[in-house]
Amino acid sequence: MRGADLLVQTLAMAGVTKIFSLSGNQIMPVYDACLDAGIEIIHTRHEGAAVFMADAWAQLTGEIGVALVTAAPGAANAVGPLFSARQSESPVLLLTGDSPLGQDGRGAFQEFDQVPMTAPLTKLSTRAQSAATLGQTVALAIRTALSGRPGPVHVALPFDVVEADAGDSAVPAAASMVRDHSPVDGDELKRVLEAVAAASTPLVLCGPAMNTTRQGTVLTALQDALDVPVVAMESPRGLKDPSLGDFAKALGQADLVISLGKPVNFTLGFGGAAVTAPGCRWIVIDSDAPERKRAALNLGDRLALAIDADPLDAAGQLMDSGEGAGARRAWRKQVATLIAARSYDAAAPGAEGKISSAQLVAAVQRRIEAADEAVLVCDGGEFGQWAQAGAHAAERVINGPSGAIGGGLCYALAARAARPDATVFALMGDGTVGFHFAEFETAARENLPFVVVIGNDECWNAEHQIQLREYGRDRLIGCQLSAARYDLAVAALGGHGEHVTDAAELDAALGRAVASGKVACVNVAIDGQPAPSGSAH
């Protein structure tokens, strides 16, 4: 058995059924091993796309998402999306080909020390040292990715390691590749429950790994058990997240905030006294020591308690210990009303006779509601924020706290692979769609149909809005795009295209896109209004 066989059998033992990959010399033994293990390779057009796909797969399945790319330039191409995966708390395993250990220092083909490149962006980055221990190395990486605050990990695979004989090395047991548990200490749990009982307007804030898409009914159950509003935050716009409406007003009234893995950073105004009620106390539950340290730095003496524990384990303990609904019914209703608030009329026509972003998103929402099962993907600057504000589905993947854009097309492809019976709608701007446009061909080739809706305002609108606001209309530079026919390009790549300039045609065009059975692009000319935000604008 080669190292490559041990590697792939370890992945299979961990439950891996699909790998997102772009081929290259050094990883051909791994490709060969996948044939015998029955693991499907979805072959992408860019290494970064493979990581974005693994990210979305992890979010939607709860499993490790695996990206496999070749050495040096391939590995470098894959690095950028690791930042998004880390910020979105996605358990991703990046496997990269590597030059042989036995040729280190001799100038081997694509020799490059990859570990220092990926280490700042991952929870663990390592280079495999032998075929016999390759299974153990990968098992440790998977367990690390899944445990505590989930995140990406990286294993470099020297060519001589994957080609070498692994001897009689055993495939690690599945139990060695599950997340570690880290519950709250009994005395600390008691202090948390006492603080909740004493509070009048408490809030529980969660990070991306605790959202409804990933944890199902956990947040609802926690809210009912504690009689406390529970809110997941996963947007870089934080308190200005359009999908949270006027939530900033609710936070401004809180007398106790419990952070279940939600970083106390810029998205919360650094936890400054101005964002909560006077005298508000904070409790931070986080398995990540740097985040607990950051909370202490930002909160000072307002931090009542910092607990080293896994937020998901803590949520389970709090659910088991809560006393259920009671005196805070009105507070919970008030918070829900504030979150649902929107500052715009979805039916209002756009400027200069064009389709408004709100109209477009409302049309997509009608298609989502008509589908038996749907997944929503939102990506981009201004139009991506409109999408988050106006569209919702049982499962949602967004570009996350990193603020990076461009992965939406890849997220959608992985979403269709993960949810083969769902209709997947990916909403993005014309800037965003350009990052990985070639993946339309991947979707067509792999027969993974989904619908991409482009809000086309012919510019990088987020930056355009900054220029308008900060420098004035006569200082616009470098943000304009063209009226490119993305729909025709998608049709040429094997998909279905629609071009819409009239709001009255939206529903029919979206319907044809869904019915086509192909990966589809609905290219919609919009007026390019700035995205809505809640009370914290």
The predicted structure's pLDDT at residue 330? 95
30 touches 191 (CB < 8 A): no
527 touches 501 (CB < 8 A): no
- Residue limits of CATH 3.40.50.970 in the chain: 3-177, 351-525
How deeply is 518 buried, as exposed, middle or buried, from its count of CB atoms within 10 A (0-12, 13-18, 19+)?
buried
How deeply is 175 buried, as exposed, middle or buried, from its count of CB atoms within 10 A (0-12, 13-18, 19+)?
exposed
Q: What is the pLDDT of residues 230-255, one digit of tens each?
A: 999 999 999 999 999 999 999 999 99
What's the mean pLDDT in 396-422?
97
pTM over 0.85, yes/no = yes
Q: What is the pLDDT of residues 431-459, one digit of tens each?
A: 999 999 999 999 999 999 999 999 999 99
- Beta 202-206 vs 18-21: how paired, if at all? unpaired
537 pLDDT exceeds 50?
Answer: no
What's the mean pLDDT in 95-117?
96
Helix (H) or strand (E) holding 484: none
536 pLDDT exceeds 80?
Answer: no
d(CA 383, CA 525) in angstroms, rounded, equals: 12
d(CA 437, CA 434) in angstroms, rounded, equals: 5
Nearest CA to 196 out of 74, 44, 286, 326 is that of 326
The predicted structure's pLDDT at residue 355? 96
CATH class belonging to 351-525: alpha beta
Residues in Cβ contact with 201 at an 8 Å cutoff, skipping those fewer than 6 apart:
253, 254, 255, 256, 277, 328, 331
Measured CA to CA in angstroms, residue 354 lies from 95, 110, 485, 486, 528 at distances of 46, 51, 17, 18, 9
Superfamily of domain 3-177: Thiamin diphosphate (ThDP)-binding fold, Pyr/PP domains (3.40.50.970)
469 touches 497 (CB < 8 A): no
- Topology at the third CATH level for domain 186-340: Rossmann fold (3.40.50)
DSSP assignment of 21-90: E---GGGHHHHHHHHHHT-EEEE-SSHHHHHHHHHHHHHHHSSPEEEEE-STHHHHHHHHHHHHHHHTT-
398 touches 235 (CB < 8 A): yes
The predicted structure's pLDDT at residue 323? 74
Total residues belonging to the chain: 537
Strands (E), 347-483: 374-378, 395-398, 423-429, 451-456
Report helix, strand or coil for 171: coil
Sheet holding 230-232, edge to edge: 230-232, 202-206, 256-260, 281-285, 303-307
Residues of the chain with pLDDT > 70, as a percent, come to 99
Report helix, strand or coil for 429: strand
Measured CA to CA in angstroms, residue 177 lies from 147, 198, 474, 503 at distances of 10, 40, 57, 50
How deeply is 75 buried, as exposed, middle or buried, from its count of CB atoms within 10 A (0-12, 13-18, 19+)?
buried
- Band (pLDDT 50/70/90 cuts) for residue 534 is low
496 pLDDT exceeds 90?
Answer: yes
113 pLDDT exceeds 50?
Answer: yes
- Band (pLDDT 50/70/90 cuts) for residue 67 is very high
- Residue limits of CATH 3.40.50.1220 in the chain: 186-340
What's the mean pLDDT in 39-64?
98
What's the mean pLDDT in 43-59?
98
**Half-sphere CA count of 341, side-chain side, radius 13 A:** 18
Give the distance from CA 452 to its chain's centroid: 17
337 pLDDT exceeds 50?
Answer: yes
Residues of the chain with pLDDT > 90, as a percent, come to 93
**Half-sphere CA count of 509, side-chain side, radius 13 A:** 23
